[in-house]
Chains A and B, each alone.
Chain A
Amino acid sequence: MPRRAWVIAGTAVGLGLAVLAAGLSLAGYDAGAALAALWTGAFGSWYAFTSATLVRAVPLILIGLGIALGFRAGVFNIGAEGQFYAGAIAATWVGLHVGAMPAALAISAVWSAALLAGACWVAVPVGLRMRYGVLEVISTLLLNFVAEALVSFVVQGPLQERQGIYPQSDPIALSARLPFIPGTRLHVGLFLALGCAGVLWYLFARTRWGFKLRAVGAGPRAAEVSGRIDSRRVTAQALLASGAIAGLAGGVEVTGVSYALYQNLSPGYGFTAIAVALLARLHPLAVVAAGLLFGALEAGAGAMQRDAGVPAVAVSVVEAVVLIVVVIAAAGVQRIGLVGAARARRRAA
């Protein structure tokens, strides 16, 4: 990542924290204590770092990678939240039935189901885009609500726990649960996330498919005319991959953290991951760093609420400021112009 990008990222995070501190003070909280709690909750101990920060970083990294992939191709996937839930639903359902399989097989089955579910969930917006030129921004957004309603339905109906008291599923089979890194509550899903980042980096830097994606994202018309690239196909593939990864993140969360399905499994990962992807300027390796940062924020937020009495949602302010700084910086030099590219692509299609 070029040096300028690091400067912007640093400014964004710094400014975000500053605004948070200012807001807290204005609202009558003890900003110092809050920030201290934030830090302790995220990095204060080895346990905090691994079992709070890194655990929350994993889904952010995964979804962030998926969103970055989409952005690179010029598609706006703000339905990652819904795809995450779709993956979680599928993972839970499969996870309840793989008790008899050995662990490796069980986990593979569950993850595959999650991947597929995420892809299927985004397939509707993809289809609508291909056939009818529907703005994927709107269709993916709408399906978020449908997914949440679906989860609500499922945990009060077909997948509800045997006892029938709470709106949640039974815990998944033991063989489907991810092992921990010894001494922590950090599950091995971390390695999947890191692996994905590496794979994506390689795809963009060295492969034809990755180049096609970048070309379509940067110049859809030229990619069609001069590159003879079927940009419709490429964007469809990018969207599907993006959704699949988000779904996989849902499966990882179920197999590594919650072991069950319930409402509000995601504290807004799908939206926070947008900030992650943008802060990282869509570079796969930088997404890891950005995911870590936001994971730290989320982890620290919990401690902040417990120890300093500041509501955890306050960290959303940091995320908001980060997004705004990145957006202004991007507009200044090189417009992200995603919606514009999408429309140009639709005209080409």
Chain B
Amino acid sequence: MSAPPAPLLRLEGIEKRYGPVHALRGADFTLYPGEVHALLGENGAGKTTLMQVADGLVRPDAGTIRVGDAERPALTPGEARRFGIGMVHQHFTGIPAFTVAENVALATGWPVSPGPLRERVRHAAEQIGLPLDPDVRTGRLSVGLKQRLEIVKAVAADARILLLDEPTAVLAPAEVAELLDVIRRFTASGGAAVLITHKLDEALAAADRVTVLRRGEVVLRALRGDLDPAALAAAMIGGEPVVRSAASIGQQADEPAAIRAEALDVARESGYGLALRQGSLEVRPGEIVGIAAVEGNGQRELLRAVAGRVLPLRGRLQVAGPVAFIPEDRTSEGLIPELSLTENVVLGSGPEEPWMRGGRIDWRAAERYTAELLRAYDVVAAGPRAPASSLSGGNQQKVVIARELSRRPRVVVAENPTRGLDLRATAAVHARLREAAEAGAAVLVHSSDLDEVLELATRVLVVSRGVVAEPPSGEAASREEIGAMMLAGA
């Protein structure tokens, strides 16, 4: 047998702390040419941080980076680029006001003369198999095309090592296949790709080699042939895998719907065109209706219209009382980080609360209530006066949920309520939502993780290209069927 080829990239003993959080504990990672390597782990395991070390965005506290002939304790973004490392980020890292060509020029250092640049960009994109129009203003591109731009930028900058951070999070199943195809073509020519993901099945489908990270250290390494899903899952979460089953909750089928939306037209946030067209749905008390959708297809507008945060252009909406809303972004929409927990609780309260006396606020009463809330929902915090910014992500989310659900609302709308939370916190959130439904609330929830939707919901609706549709097979709809619907559309 011939000796294995020299690795393209080697990370050894990488340590990184962010204050009290030990993000990486002596993590090792090796990447060989021509391979697709999946870096698997739960949210918060340290996958992105480890790759950001390789890309020069993060400076490790200890450890070595070996790339090419060089050995470094850390890299700058410029050096990473010179060594042929390119990261395709989860969130778009281009400049919306620039054209595609200008963004590529910024990333690659190509000269700015418009004519030749345009041609060069067009050619580069076609070469990779992801054609792009160089003159379009990047802000106007769809999410999928923006990701294309990310990849083109990296490859055009002569990357030999592509680090893709959760690239399929924003793609529909067929687009995922297309992406993996492109990656294969890239690795076939001698490059290597790292697929950072928390999706087990994706890793199984695409990878030649898998590394599993948990709590900042490597717990499992496996080759394609030796992949065992159960072992991988166990490595990722460190215990018995969570059994997936759609819970059924007692519904009152004879009660009138608590949410009734008829033919809602909702404009896009950017103002051009409709994000949601003639959307209709009904949710009864006790139901958990899950919305399955690929990001950017109108589900956000649907949820926010139902929650009363966005005004539909047309249509009718009836909700049985004030709506508890759990927004996707807890630090900019759910809470005000600088204000205290008490103030944040008061923020979400209406005029009927005991501490609101007409135009005045009784802060002492509010503080007492907040302290109770923190206790009841098991929130780890210094006290009701602590600023919201001092809490961890999971605890912040608990505060938001506590604030919204403690008033026993009749209607609950939740947008990606477990985003960025670890397994335990996620389970807690799910429990609270089920609890609310059991108490008779109508719950409307969306998650970009299809499996979470399937697990939580008693009934699933699909939103695709602005249209709300019910799977023909109803409750028996399979994952594949729903996935197909997410891609289709009127």
Interface residues of A (CB under 8 A from B): 206-209, 211, 214-215, 218-219, 221-228, 334, 344
Report yes or no: A222 in contact with B336, Cβ–Cβ below 8 A: yes
Report yes or no: A226 in contact with B359, Cβ–Cβ below 8 A: no
Interface residues of B in 334-349 (CB under 8 A from A): 334-339, 343-344, 346-348
Contacts A222-B347, A226-B348 given; indicate if A206 touches B309 (C-beta within 8 A): no
Annotate B318-337 by CB proximity to A: 1 below 8 A, 0 otherwise: 00000001010100111111
Q: How far is the CB of B270 from chain A (nearest CB, A)?
A: 10
Name the A residues within 8 Å of B325 (CB-CB): 225-226
Sample of 20 A–B contacts (CB below 8 Å): A206-B361, A207-B360, A207-B361, A208-B361, A211-B343, A211-B361, A214-B339, A215-B339, A219-B336, A221-B333, A222-B332, A222-B333, A222-B336, A223-B336, A224-B333, A225-B309, A226-B334, A226-B335, A226-B403, A227-B347
Name the B residues within 8 Å of A208 (CB-CB): 356, 359-361
| Distance A226 CA – B336 CA, assembled complex (angstroms) | 9
| Distance A224 CA – B347 CA, assembled complex (angstroms) | 10
**Choice from A206, A219, A221 contacting B339 with Cβ under 8 Å:** A219
Of listed B308, B309, B360, residue having the most chain A CB within 10 A: B360
User: What would 5 more interface pairs be, CB under 8 Å, given A207-B359, A207-B361?
Assistant: A207-B360, A224-B309, A226-B325, A226-B333, A228-B309
**Choice from B332, B348, B363 contacting A219 with Cβ under 8 Å:** B332
Q: How far is the CB of A132 from chain B (nearest CB, A)?
A: 13
Residue of B at shortest CB range from A222? B336
Residue of A at shortest CB range from B332? A221
| Distance A206 CA – B366 CA, assembled complex (angstroms) | 12
Report yes or no: B359 in contact with A215, Cβ–Cβ below 8 A: no
The interface size bin for chain B is 20 to 34
Of listed A223, A224, A225, residue having the most chain B CB within 10 A: A225
Contacts A206-B361, A207-B361, A208-B361 given; indicate if A225 touches B334 (C-beta within 8 A): yes
Across the A-B interface, give the 5 residue pairs with the lowest CB-CB distance, nearest first.
A219-B336, A225-B333, A227-B347, A222-B336, A221-B332
| Distance A191 CA – B256 CA, assembled complex (angstroms) | 61
Interface residues of B in 444-473 (CB under 8 A from A): none
**Choice from A218, A221, A226 contacting B338 with Cβ under 8 Å:** A218
Of listed A209, A218, A334, A344, residue having the most chain B CB within 10 A: A218
Interface residues of B (CB under 8 A from A): 308-309, 325, 327, 329, 332-339, 343-344, 346-348, 356, 359-361, 363, 400, 403
**Choice from A207, A218, A334 contacting B336 with Cβ under 8 Å:** A218
| Distance A211 CA – B339 CA, assembled complex (angstroms) | 11
Name the B residues within 8 Å of A215 (CB-CB): 336, 339, 343, 347
Report yes or no: A206 in contact with B336, Cβ–Cβ below 8 A: no
- How many residue-residue contacts, CB under 8 A, span A and B? 62
| Distance A228 CA – B351 CA, assembled complex (angstroms) | 12
Q: How far is the CB of A2 from chain B (nearest CB, A)?
A: 13
Name the B residues within 8 Å of A209 (CB-CB): 359
Name the A residues within 8 Å of B327 (CB-CB): 225-226
Name the B residues within 8 Å of A226 (CB-CB): 325, 327, 333-335, 344, 347-348, 400, 403
Report yes or no: A219 in contact with B361, Cβ–Cβ below 8 A: no
| Distance A221 CA – B337 CA, assembled complex (angstroms) | 12
Report yes or no: A227 in contact with B361, Cβ–Cβ below 8 A: no
Q: How far is the CB of A177 from chain B (nearest CB, A)?
A: 36
| Distance A228 CA – B348 CA, assembled complex (angstroms) | 8
| Distance A334 CA – B387 CA, assembled complex (angstroms) | 13
| Distance A242 CA – B327 CA, assembled complex (angstroms) | 32
Name the B residues within 8 Å of A207 (CB-CB): 359-361
Contacts A211-B343, A227-B347, A227-B348 given; indicate if A222 touches B335 (C-beta within 8 A): yes
| Distance A214 CA – B360 CA, assembled complex (angstroms) | 14
Residue of A at shortest CB range from B415? A225
Q: How far is the CB of B301 from chain A (nearest CB, A)?
A: 14
Contacts A215-B336, A218-B338, A218-B339 given; indicate if A223 touches B356 (C-beta within 8 A): no
Report yes or no: B361 in contact with A223, Cβ–Cβ below 8 A: no
Q: How far is the CB of B435 from chain A (nearest CB, A)?
A: 21
| Distance A337 CA – B104 CA, assembled complex (angstroms) | 31
| Distance A343 CA – B285 CA, assembled complex (angstroms) | 40
| Distance A223 CA – B332 CA, assembled complex (angstroms) | 9
| Distance A211 CA – B361 CA, assembled complex (angstroms) | 9
Name the B residues within 8 Å of A219 (CB-CB): 332, 335-339
| Distance A293 CA – B359 CA, assembled complex (angstroms) | 34
Name the B residues within 8 Å of A223 (CB-CB): 336, 347
Q: How far is the CB of A278 from chain B (nearest CB, A)?
A: 17
Residue of A at shortest CB range from B339? A218
Q: How far is the CB of A229 from chain B (nearest CB, A)?
A: 8
Name the B residues within 8 Å of A227 (CB-CB): 347-348
Name the B residues within 8 Å of A206 (CB-CB): 360-361, 363
| Distance A52 CA – B85 CA, assembled complex (angstroms) | 68
Residue of A at shortest CB range from B356? A208
Name the A residues within 8 Å of B347 (CB-CB): 215, 222-223, 226-227
| Distance A288 CA – B52 CA, assembled complex (angstroms) | 50
